[in-house]
Amino acid sequence: MSEGNAAQFCRDVARRIRQVRELRGLTQAQLAERSGLNRASIARIENGSAALSLDTLFKLSVSLGVRPDEFLNFVSLEGNFIIDLGESRRLQVIKN
């Protein structure tokens, strides 16, 4: 993976975290409270300006009720992202 591809991957993970939060109907402040992180950290994670540790990824996954690997489960199709939230949840396409 090239350095440019790695940067894009990190932006995609950040976008995915934001999309899952929004699908759950949570604000950044609510996610911060649930996860034990502060709202500014959530904002930096979602805009890709903060590095994301595995510990933080796990806290966010627990707080959002998804497996950690679901933040890595995305496919870009012509500027859209396919969101699959598991067996019991519906597939959703979100436009950028």
Collapsing DSSP to helix, strand or coil, 56 comes out as: helix
Query: What CATH code would you report for 3-95?
Result: 1.10.260.40
* Domain coordinates in residue numbering, the chain: 3-95
pLDDT digits 0-9 by tens, 15-56: 899 989 999 999 999 999 999 999 999 999 999 888 889 999
pLDDT digits 0-9 by tens, 65-89: 998 888 887 654 444 455 555 554 4
85: left (phi over 0), alpha (psi -120 to 50) or beta: alpha
* pLDDT band at residue 3 using 50, 70 and 90 as cut-offs: low
d(CA 80, CA 57): 23
d(CA 11, CA 5): 10
d(CA 48, CA 11): 6
> In this structure, what are the phi and psi dihedrals at residue 93, rounded to the nearest 5 degrees?
-105, 125
Q: What is the pTM of this model?
A: 0.73
